[in-house]
Amino acid sequence: MAATKDPRPCSIADALALVGEKYSLLVLREVCLGNGRFDQLVRNIGAPRDILATRLRRLVDAGILTKRTYSERPQRFEYRPTQAGLELEPVLMTLMAWGDRHLRKDDDRPMVIEHICGNELIPVVTCRACGDAVRHEDLTAHPQVPGWAVTGPTAA
Amino acid sequence: MAATKDPRPCSIADALALVGEKYSLLVLREVCLGNGRFDQLVRNIGAPRDILATRLRRLVDAGILTKRTYSERPQRFEYRPTQAGLELEPVLMTLMAWGDRHLRKDDDRPMVIEHICGNELIPVVTCRACGDAVRHEDLTAHPQVPGWAVTGPTAA
DNA sequence: CCGGTGAGTAGGAAATCCGAACTCACCCTA
DNA sequence: TAGGGTGAGTTCGGATTTCCTACTCACCGG
């Protein structure tokens, strides 16, 4: 009867349960770009329409998107990010930078993000307390739940 | 015959094609924590063994993990992150912070990461050029590929 | 009236996922 | 040397999801 199957409790897993399904983060990308209409999403993402409808419902339920009417008669909608959705944008930026660096030759980046400072955005994840860029060797994990120790947080 | 179905070219999509499948990022989490053995992964992630085997193959092929033998006779292996894998860790940290903030009540975080500076790690994504924290309103997207304009990069 | 657009639904085939059981090679120990 | 245990998977059939195409429904514009 004992639950021998529950995995490590973890906010990464919880977050992925919401936005980790296929296309979900691409929906967020398009919505952050301002392309929030159903047919735009279908075209830009390349997802089947029914799957997209399912994802949109889920993201709205989760409070990551809102569905706004921009035209009554004919009824037309637009999806937009909520505050919570916008706060996921850094994840997208970091992922994009990783993809640009590791998945592409040289400078054939399909999209460049410009920061308000005038330069191209190259996202760097830093520690809020000291401001330094986060490096694996500088981290130590402290599980808060008994029974979920880690063997060695850092392993070069 | 024309390809009317290709979605927006994008490094986010490319990155997700590699690490966006179910469990892939959780594998990376465990491996970064130092838990790189097959049965540990099965337990900590809660994935079916065959799916896990498939994911591991894919991540190794993609150069995100390496499979190291830590014991000949009996043959025993351990998966470890490569440099490319380690560079995905910031994505995990950012995602974890988002989950902690939006998916949990107060302070029941299942895991706390300590930075070498002595404080708890709260990851902040910043612009490499100016050092400021990245906010949606400060970004402008510039697609590099004709035909993939965005309607409005910023839309509050 | 005709064709077009936006926002989906419907239906069945194809691909994935899942859990449990199985293998195989080895070690321990009695 | 027989029995049990562990690590690292593979194999199985069945349950779920995804995918694709077509369809709807409401409206608009000419």
B interface test, pick of A4, A5, A6, A10 with most B CB neighbours within 10 Å = A10
Supply the pLDDT for residue B58: 96
Pick from B96, B101, B68, B99: nearest CA to B82:
B68
Tokens representing B152 are: 């409005």
Fold exhibited by the domain A11-87: Arc Repressor Mutant, subunit A (1.10.10)
Average pLDDT over residues B55-70: 96
Which residues, listed in sequence order, are joined to residue B69 by a DSSP beta bridge?
B77
In the three-class reduction of DSSP (H, G, I as helix; E, B as strand; rest coil), residue A3 is classed as coil
A interface test, pick of B4, B6, B10 with most A CB neighbours within 10 Å = B10
pLDDT band at B73 (very low <50, low <70, confident <90, very high): confident
Q: What CATH code is assigned to B11-138?
A: 1.10.10.10
Tokens representing B51 are: 């799916």
Which residue's CA lies closest to nucleotide D28 at its C1' atom? A74
Distance CA B97, CA B100 (A): 5
Q: Per the CB < 8 Å rule, is A115 touching B99?
A: no
- How much of chain B, in percent, has pLDDT values that exceed 90? 81
3-state secondary structure chain B: CCCCCCCCCCHHHHHHHHHCCCCHHHHHHHHHHCCCCHHHHHHHHCCCHHHHHHHHHHHHHCCCEEEEEEECCCCEEEEEECHHHHCCHHHHHHHHHHHHHHHCCCCCCCEEEEECCCCECCEEEEECCCCCECCHHHEEEEECCCCCCCCCCCCC
In B, minimum Cα distance to A64 occurs at B102
Average pLDDT over residues B106-135: 96
CB B32 within 8 A of CB B84: no
Write out chain A residues lying below 8 Å of B84, CB-based: 98, 102
Write out chain B residues lying below 8 Å of A42, CB-based: none
- How much of chain A, in percent, has pLDDT values that exceed 90? 82
Write out chain A residues lying below 8 Å of B103, CB-based: 11, 14-15, 18
In the three-class reduction of DSSP (H, G, I as helix; E, B as strand; rest coil), residue A55 is classed as helix
Cβ count within 10 A of residue B112: 15
Tell whether B149 is within 8 A of chain A (Cβ): no
Which residues of chain A are modeled with pLDDT < 70? 1-5, 152-156
Q: What is the DSSP string of A102-138?
A: HHS-TT--SEEEEETTSSBP-EEEEETTT-PBP-GGG
Pick from A42, A62, A43: nearest CA to A53:
A42
Q: Per the CB < 8 Å rule, is A113 touching B46?
A: no
pLDDT band at B5 (very low <50, low <70, confident <90, very high): low
Residue A134 phi/psi, 5-degree rounding, is -80, 125
Provide the CA B13 to C1' D11 distance, Å, integer: 33
Tell whether A149 is within 8 A of chain B (Cβ): no
The amino acid occupying position B118 is G
Residue B40: pLDDT over 70: yes
Domain ranges of chain A: 11-87, 89-156
Supply the pLDDT for residue A5: 67
**Which nucleotide lies at the shortest CA–C1' distance from B49?**
D9
Pairing verdict, β A76-81 and A65-71: antiparallel
Distance CA A144, CA B151 (A): 44
The crossing angle, in degrees rounded to 10, of helices A11-19 and A24-33 is 70
> Judging by beta carbons within 10 Å of its beta carbon (0-12, 13-18, 19+), is residue B7 exposed, middle or buried?
middle
Q: Measure CA of the first residue to CA of the last residue in chain A; give whole Å.
A: 40
Per residue in B9-26, pLDDT tens?
999 999 999 999 999 999
Q: Per the CB < 8 Å rule, is B125 touching A93?
A: yes
